[in-house]
Chain A
Amino acid sequence: MITFLANARIIDPESLTEREGNVILDGRLIAAIGSAQAPKHARVIDCGGMALAPGIVDLGVKVGEPGDRHKESFRSAGLAAAAGGVTTIIARPDTNPAIDTPEVLEFVTRRAEAASPVRILHMAALTKGRAGREMTEIGFLLDAGAVAFTDADHVTTDTKVLSRALTYARSLGALVIGHPQDPGLSAGAAVTNGKFASLRGLPGVHPMAERMGFDRDMALVEMTGARYHADQITTARALPALERAKANGLDVTAGISIHHLTLNELDVGDYRTFFKLTPPLRAEEDRLAMVDAVASGLIDIICSMHTPQDEESKRLPFEEAASGAVALETFLPAAMRLYHAGHLTLPQLFRAMALNPARRLGLPQGRMAEGAPADLVLFDPDAPFLLDRATLRSKSRNTPFDGQRMEGKVLATFVGGAQVFGERD
């Protein structure tokens, strides 16, 4: 099947450019980009000058399978992703049980393939049960399709265990994703230290805990030569360390969640638990420093850190409430805030949301190029709307953007050349 996308504002994150033009999808791939004419028998879609970009590759999505299917299933996550322009979900292994054996990995792979309209790839745990004591069968898990290894927000405190896991992973070329946070300093924290935390009487963590965790991991990466990605760097204090690590030639990248780029600690207001995240939201100065770091490319990847939580686990006093927010459907509109504020261009955004994560994982997605997979999102970056969380497709609706004015609407999503979201003529 051939699709002709006419009259689009084509976003190319590789060259960091945008231009008007047409795109031809042939089968599962992008066949041509530019001023080509519509081939015979093609399905023609007039994009009306709307933005057409590579679909989002979302590194670090929590789906509730296995264990918490009432919070999110592969089906509901896939539908939410399609509606949000996310064409590849990289699922986290912090499930119950953890995805730490080839058998569990095969199970979730099968379930995801049957249920989801978008691509779902899986990460596996680095240590068994994410307990930080014994490494998982990294080789078998790689063979079974694991794209990266992470214990998510569980920090391995035993550096001997971690150094061995990193060494072993390096020998197989596996990517290890760490959560840079000193576990001692951050124990029991619900917010970031500062005036706001003290005013609300909430236990906070000093931003230095992130740099301490990152510094430790960098020492181990230098020691073992492992490929490493920091899931979220959210404080300005950690940036010089990241810059140094890259300059020293370590195989290191870093990510940040869209929430840490668009919200700050004050948004918690009067104990609004939908704003409770891991790590906690930061000061405005930190947020701005992070936006700059994404623009410069120091921070490589923006992810959603989609973490579905049911009402019961959020309707509690702030300290006791579960942390995390859903974001698959609000990822793109939230990112448009950075675009409309003039902080980031659309190509810069899609470099961080599509190209870089795909590259880091060795995937062919994320590119606006002939021969690349036809995973695309067509969206109107300016369309305004009022977000009503009741309309979300996720089974859990713990979004911090409820009731807020947003701009940016997904019009159509294509995965492997097939339209999985949007109106059809």
Chain B
Amino acid sequence: MSQTDKKLNAFHAKFIPSHPEQTSLRKRLSPTMTISLSKMYPVLLLLDNCLNNILWLNNTHYHYFNNVILLILSLNFLIADRTSQSLYSILILWVGLLSTELLIMSIVYYCITLSNDLETDEPPTLEDIFNLIDAITHKLHILKEESIVSKLQIDSKLSIIIIVGVTSIIQWALMSCIAVKRYVISYLIFCSIYHSDWVQATLRLLWRSGYIRNVIHLVDRFKKKRPIKSLKDLISIQEIKSNESRLKVSDLEIMESYMDIIHLEQTDSVKVLELTIWENQRKWNGKGWFTKLFSYERGPFSIFDAGQTVLDCKAPLKFEDGLFDGWTWLDKKWEINDWVYFDSCWNLVGSKDSLQCYTRSRKWVRRILQLESNNESKKNV
């Protein structure tokens, strides 16, 4: 009973309105601006309709499917081989001609009816124009979000070169196995259906497949550098990264009993280095966090080099025995920090697990030191 009461009395916050009225902007508009906007209205309507056709909005799927078929037929006609004189090819040509005419006529018909409607209707209010502009910008936004270019990670010259290289190889392969005419037609079909909701949903579902991700990230997999296996490599990378700090032992806060164990004296001058290794995990199908990660992304343990690129490495505990050249562990053990959460592409989200988080990392830190002045003498002893 009390639970239902609670449910009834529950107070839910409301969303921030997604399409707020820009009243202030409208009030500040100059008359010339208003007039020019209302003159632009038909153009805006045409643009909106174009976007609707690209995004498969505002009409049934049958309508757009028929349009695609008409497009194919008319393309077939426009780039047809007209030398053949068989009855069948003449029939195909005739159907192509018809569909080309139909396509052109439907566009012309739309324009004429649009202008007729505008003439007979009341002139558009500022509200109408602003709504239309909002709708157009929103649709352009969707176009931008869904486009392939926005999905490619172009962050350096190298990635541009790789993308151009890979796509030209694909293009070349396609051109060599299918005729130019077919290539053009299939490219246009692809363009005309790419933004439909069916294709977009299919792409998203395909993206859930690990196999497909592995294929798409094939380049990343080869770009991956060799994992760090020895403590020497680990130290050399972290030395470059951090500003070397030369300190007196007296400046360090070390327990004396531990100093005895690692043979240190207060007067020794040392080089101290903080080794940082990240442990990485991924959330799998709502089943929980596992160290199983994709082969193209960072491994279960990784470090950052000076250029902030990720390098895989062994587990921290496996580095314990590889001490060399007077390097000694300053801390007794690895200090493990809390998890930090990221989204699926390792972009930072926050310190708490939420629906947005699909990967997480935590730092393993341990300081290591190298004696400088008394190095030689100690070695001799």
Whether chain B is bound by chain A comes out as no
